[in-house]
Amino acid sequence: MHYQPPNDNLKCLIAPLDSNSYFARCHRDCIFRDSKPGRVPRGKSRTELAATSSIHPVFEVKDECSIIPVSSSLANTREVEKSPREQWKRRFDFLLSLVGLSVGLGNIWRFPYLCYKHGGGAFLIPYFISIFAAGLPVFLLEVTVGQITAQGGIAAWNICPLFRGIGFASLVTNFCLDCYYNVILAWALYYLFSSFTSTLPWTLCGQWWNTPQCDNGSGLINGTVATDPAAEFWENRVLGLSKGIEHLGPVRWDLALCLLLAWIIVFLCIFKGIKTSGKVMYVTATSPYIFMFILLVRAATLEGAIDGIRYYMVPDWSKLADVQMWADAGAQIFFSYSISLGTLTALGSYNSFHQNSFRDCLAYATVNTLTSLLAGFIIFATLGHMALKADLSIDQVAESGPGLAFVIYPKAIGMMKASPFWSVCFFLMLLLLGIDSQFAGVEGFITSITDFYPRLVLRPKLRILFVGSVCLACFLVGLTMVTEGGMYLFQLFNHYAGSRIILLTAFFECIAAGYFYGAKRIGGHMKKMHGWGLGVLPQVFWCVISPVFTLGLFIVSVVVHEEVSYERASRTEVYHFPQWSIIFGWLLAACSVIMIPIIMVFELLRTPGTFSQRLRTLSHHKLTGSQLMRLQGRKTENDSSASTDSSNSRRSKNGLTNVETQTKVVAKRFLNEESTSNNLN
């Protein structure tokens, strides 16, 4: 179909780019006089046409090709088949989803300990520098890329096909985290169920899981060091801990049932998409703060609380010269912000185009930091009371990770009056903090795959089946971590799969978005989305500060790296992992980031042309027509699904789809402009 407007050199050609899709391409300089419908003019390659920068102003696009998809009776493309994308019903839903995803167990059991370990208040200096230099910029970048493309963690990186492997790297990391994170929730469920008793089971000796060395106090029993009943309950009753990773042993079926329950909860929260998860977030993202304030009031009234808070916050400025502190601060920010997992991109893809994501990201950063500080006050005020009662120093009770949540803090709760009530509050808080992080992470994983291969969710039943399959696969992997040696495998996943390797992925994200797609271009998109821009800040951060900072942190973290080990809760023994398990851990870490060069080589091999032509082609974005219209400020079915649904029936009677109608509207608008200009002349 050709159209020749009066007094203009513009021709409109609707030609099939491939056998499955049709595109309307408008071009001012090239006149397709010798071409036939459905063919590219002789002497013109598709690559040359795609690179053409002179576009008629009616399309409001400069320096990039304006492509608008239209349907055909023969078209069977992903974009045509795919139903309008879901969006958050309320603007506040997105902020809650960010809080639910990223405010989790790391804020409770890792941040307070890092503050104590690295000089109290002095740790806040590298912490805030890491936030503003890399954490917040990369966080905003991932959300913005998702909002621009309305695609999940894989398809969103079509903004730079050469680095499409970033999406696959994030997918692998996300899967590893999803597998082991729910094991923590299984432990929390076990402790929660065990709290519904008149006397907490980890406060007593003489149970079948206790050893002769068990003692409620501290001291020596028959010349040996006494062990605490809370530590014995954790290792002997809950974990059934074996001697090492070489002895995985049988599955602990009580823990396996708790793990199954955790995955059932996750499935019920996400099987219908963000329609259900968005509603659940209103409970899971807000109610933990109720329990936190209850526990804060209780902790502040305990004897010895001020001593614990002093250990937590009094700065030791000499620690600033310790590179380990800077590495820990950066790793904490990236893990706490859920960066380089693809989940932020997926959540951002459900935003409307004009959602103020910059405001939401700032609000989230504030909430995350305040939550971490609040959790620190709760934990160390309680530990101060515990140290006073046991006549120990804070050094002897302060701990990080599962040992803090499932040994030290339960022991401190056991010293309080009405201890079962406070135990229920604490483990409910842990469960709620963890469950929304988990189902948001799984939702991000599912969105990344279904946007890349949308046939999986053509019908609601297919989505339910696919979500169930993902949950089942993660559950089966998690079963290996609820065996008698499962804690050792958990430590490997926690130490290698989701730690420093995400810094390297974030570095490649900055390179791909900042240099190849263009930080200036993304800044322009943000100006259209928000109505105001950030000036040169995107170029400064995404091209210079953030990539340098993330790469530097990665190098430092590798230099100061210590191989994984496990200290038993009784503190009587430190288990050192065998060499083969350490190699497995590094392979686990590498299997994610290795996807970036693998996909890069794959794309280069399958792209025609010389090497320089391939690089040029893969460096140019491959956004779809609807994505380009979205960036031009025109509504698509994703931005106005409600109005689309109401008018679909009228359009279908005429055999027109939404995108074809939009193409006709653009052409009609062009004719009106031409007519007006002729009348004025």
Sequence ranges of the binding site for Na(+): 100, 103, 107, 336, 368, 433, 436-437
Extract the annotated binding site: 100, 103, 107, 336, 368, 433, 436-437
Residues paired with 214 in a beta bridge: 227
Q: How far is CA 555 from the centre of its chain?
A: 23
Count Cβ atoms below 10 Å from residue 282 Cβ, excluding itself.
Answer: 14
* 122 exposure class (CB count in 10 Å sphere: 0-12, 13-18, 19+): buried
Q: What is the per-residue burial (b if ≥16 Cβ within 10 Å, else e) of 584-609?
A: bbeebbebbbebbeebbeebeeebee
The two three-digit tokens of residue 618, written as one number: 């893969």
Of 489, 582, 426, which is closest to residue 180 (Cα–Cα)? 489
Q: Kindly report the three-state secondary structure assignment for every residue of 646-660.
A: HHHHHHHHCCCCHHH
The two three-digit tokens of residue 198, written as one number: 């008149």
Count Cβ atoms below 10 Å from residue 114 Cβ, excluding itself.
Answer: 19
* 668 exposure class (CB count in 10 Å sphere: 0-12, 13-18, 19+): exposed
The two three-digit tokens of residue 610, written as one number: 């010389």
Contact 33, 10 (CB under 8 A): no
d(CA 14, CA 31): 13
Contact 544, 318 (CB under 8 A): no
Of 405, 565, 576, 406, which is closest to residue 496 (Cα–Cα)? 565
Sign of the alpha-carbon torsion through 603, 609, 611, 616: negative
Contact 33, 44 (CB under 8 A): no
Q: How far is CA 486 from the centre of its chain?
A: 25
